[in-house]
Amino acid sequence: MIDFRYHLVSIIAVFLALAIGVVVGSIALKPAVTSGLLAASKREQQANNRLNAQNGQLSQQLAADNAFAQAGSAGLVNNLLLGQSVVLVLAPGADSQTVTGVTTVLRQAGATVTGQVVLQPQFFDTGSVTEQALSTAANSLAPPGVRLPRSSPDPQIVGQQAAAQVISAAIVSTDGQATMTSQQRQAILSGFGRQNFLQLNAADGSGVAALSGQATMAVVVIPSTVPTAKAGGPFNLALVSFAQDLQEAGRGAVLAGAFSGSGQGSAIDVASGGGAGTQLSTVDNADSAIGQIIVAQALRELMNGAAPSSYGARPGTVPSPAPSPVPSPSPSPSTSRKKKP
């Protein structure tokens, strides 16, 4: 019978041999491995340096393009929207830079901005209690005899669609002529506001929770980040449906947003892809000076009877600076003089 100590010595000898082999092998391979790793690291560093340099150049170029567009925006949009009024409808999380820039360009284009309708997160809740509250408010606040936009019903957002139809009729009209009294408009907006579905901001920044009247056109600003896949479906449908109601109730509506929030899974992605069964003009880079100019130009295209289209910088869109419509001439005094007899 073999002694246990023999087994123990054999096991120790095996592991000792393995250890010696690893040490010897690492010493033999170390120069080659180290040299290879250093070379690979150097190549990666050089590639990173090149990419950083290219990124810096592109950032400088983009900044220069935006500065040029911002400096020339007044001339590019001059009188495009003369005589029109525009209301801004803001989704939760709308980018303030986008809102400010779009407002400035709309005014440069000759439009009157009536104010902001800020939709609250509660408006997009699809729970049964909220859906019922929205539907009940829409039915009770809609003035009798007032024509409401007609959108295809969707079982996921019945309450949001009913509310959007009534709110759209209150804040826009086709020809600028009031379709309801100021008391009726105020009752609608205050009614939804009391239930925390929306908030009003005056266009002049005075802090007064009121609009200056019904607008003829609308710009709907989406969130600055793409919603999660779980919440994005009904949220996007409700926002796109609202924009569609605004388009039908007025002379045109544009769905706009920051580039960061208009990618796959966003409301702009749904609208431009036809996923909501609607046709809307969209601008996916409205956080830039170029995109803000396009918002005004896209509204003018709708005024001229053009079909809705997708504008911006993402694949499948009409690249900026399209569509560049011809601005309306501004009135100027006659310079002709009569000759002296």
pTM: 0.77
> If phi over 0 gives left and psi between -120 and 50 gives alpha, with beta otherwise, what is residue 218?
beta
Instruction: Write down the domain spans for the chain.
Output: 1-76, 80-319
The answer to whether 312 and 294 are in contact (CB under 8 A) is: yes
Give the separation between CA 195 and CA 137, rounded to whole angstroms: 9
Going residue by residue through the chain, which has 341 residues, state the pLDDT in tens, using 9 for 90 and above. Answer: 556 666 666 777 777 777 777 666 665 556 666 777 778 787 888 878 888 877 777 766 666 766 756 666 777 899 999 999 999 999 999 999 999 999 999 999 999 999 999 999 999 999 999 999 999 999 999 988 777 877 667 888 999 999 999 999 999 998 767 788 899 999 999 999 999 999 999 887 666 788 989 999 999 999 999 988 777 789 999 999 999 999 999 999 999 999 999 999 999 999 987 655 568 999 999 999 999 999 999 999 999 999 999 998 887 777 655 555 555 444 444 443 343 44
Check residue 72 and give its pLDDT.
Answer: 64
Q: Would you say 110 and 78 are in contact if contact means Cβ atoms under 8 Å apart?
A: yes
Name 255's bridge partners: 220, 282
Spatial contact of 103 and 203, defined as CB atoms under 8 Å apart: yes
Query: Tokens standing for 126?
Result: 């699809």
Burial of 209 per CB tally in 10 Å (0-12, 13-18, 19+): middle
Q: Return the pLDDT at 95.
A: 93
Tokens of 157: 């957002």
Give the helix/strand (H/E) hosting 134.
helix 128-141
Q: How high is the pLDDT of residue 335?
A: 40
**What is the predicted pLDDT for the residue at 338?**
40
Find the helix or strand (DSSP H, E) in which 63 lies: helix 4-76
